[in-house]
């Protein structure tokens, strides 16, 4: 399991393809090698759907649930004690850090000392 937090859809769109190619695809291969099933995420249930209003209601409920999970992860990340931190690159107001916590390892981009992008993988999944 991993965590990807991006500031907006445009930022995510720029990173999506390289993340698929170099991060997610190799991790998916590990599932095959280990004989485990990957996490399937959440999906929109259309069982017993009768009206478009019902579809819209289900979509909004799922969207709110996902946003609440993102907010929860973001809040939890702020409280994780970082046991290792190394500055990899610094450009103007942006700093790229490699970080490690008790459960996660990965990278974070800070802009004026605030996280704007975080990419972490749970250690036991790596």
69 phi, psi to nearest 5 deg? -65, -40
Q: How confident is the model at residue 55 (pLDDT cuts 50, 70, 90)?
A: very high
Is residue 120 over pLDDT 80? yes
Residue percentage of the chain with pLDDT more than 90: 13
Distance of alpha carbon 79 from alpha carbon 45, whole angstroms = 34
0.85 surpassed by pTM: no
Is residue 76 over pLDDT 90? no
- Lookup: tokens for 23: 């991060």
- Listed in sequence order, the DSSP H helices in 1-126 are 9-19, 25-34, 52-79
Pairing between strand 2-5 and 94-100?
Answer: unpaired
Burial of 118 (0-12, 13-18, 19+ CB in 10 A): buried
């Amino acid at each position: 399991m991993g965590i990807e937090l991006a500031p907006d859809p445009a930022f995510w769109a720029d990173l999506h393809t390289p993340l698929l190619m170099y991060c997610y695809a190799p991790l998916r291969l590990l599932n095959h090698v280990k004989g485990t099933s990957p996490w399937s995420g959440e999906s929109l249930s259309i069982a017993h759907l009768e009206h478009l209003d019902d579809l819209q209601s289900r979509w909004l409920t799922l969207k709110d649930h996902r946003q609440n999970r993102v907010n929860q992860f973001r809040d939890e990340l702020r409280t994780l004690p970082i046991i290792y931190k190394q500055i990899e690159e610094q450009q103007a107001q942006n700093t790229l850090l490699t970080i490690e916590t008790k459960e996660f390892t990965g990278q974070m981009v800070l802009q004026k000392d605030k996280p704007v992008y975080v990419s972490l993988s749970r250690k036991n999944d790596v």
